[in-house]
Amino acid sequence: MAIDKIPPGLANSPALAGNGKYKGPAQGSEAKSASSPVTSQDSVSLTPEAQRLSQVQQSLASAPAPDNSARLEALKKAINEGSYQVDSERLAANISRFEQDIETLYP
């Protein structure tokens, strides 16, 4: 199936620029600008917070994973034996703290 009509906004698309089938007014101007050197440069600067976050991410990525297998096995055993007790006050406090954290992130 051939698509012969290009919407007006896509006529200048770089993906179609090299395609000889679709010739529009933008191709002539692109050919002129392609021969002239580009003098402007883009630059990116990171805030100190972003740089620190990057360092933390790198250190976490290189750190070994914690070994929680003994704790996990103890929890599995307690659950299977029916001896695991949920600390409802601790659970409620953690849920409340979690909700407060969300509210500070998304006011």
- What are the residue boundaries of the structural domains of the chain, listed by start? 71-107
Tokens 């953690």 correspond to 94
**Of the candidates 6, 2, 46, which has an alpha carbon nearest to the alpha carbon of residue 24?**
6
pLDDT at 48: 92
Supply the pTM of this predicted model.
0.36
CA–CA distance, 12 with 50 (Å, rounded to integer): 35
Q: Could you report the per-residue pLDDT of 60-92, keeping only the tens digit for each?
A: 999 998 899 999 999 999 999 999 999 999 999
The first and second tokens of residue 79, run together, are 């659950």
pLDDT at 27 over 50: no
pLDDT at 16 over 90: no
pLDDT at 54 over 90: yes
Alpha carbon 68 to its chain centroid, in Å, reads 28
Beta strands per DSSP E along 18-69 = none
How far, in Å, are 8, 29, 89 from residue 22 at the CA level?
12, 14, 69
12 contact partners, CB below 8 Å, separation of at least 6:
24, 26
* pLDDT, mean of residues 7-34: 55
pLDDT at 40: 83
Range with the lowest mean pLDDT among 26-30, 34-38, 69-73, 78-82? 26-30
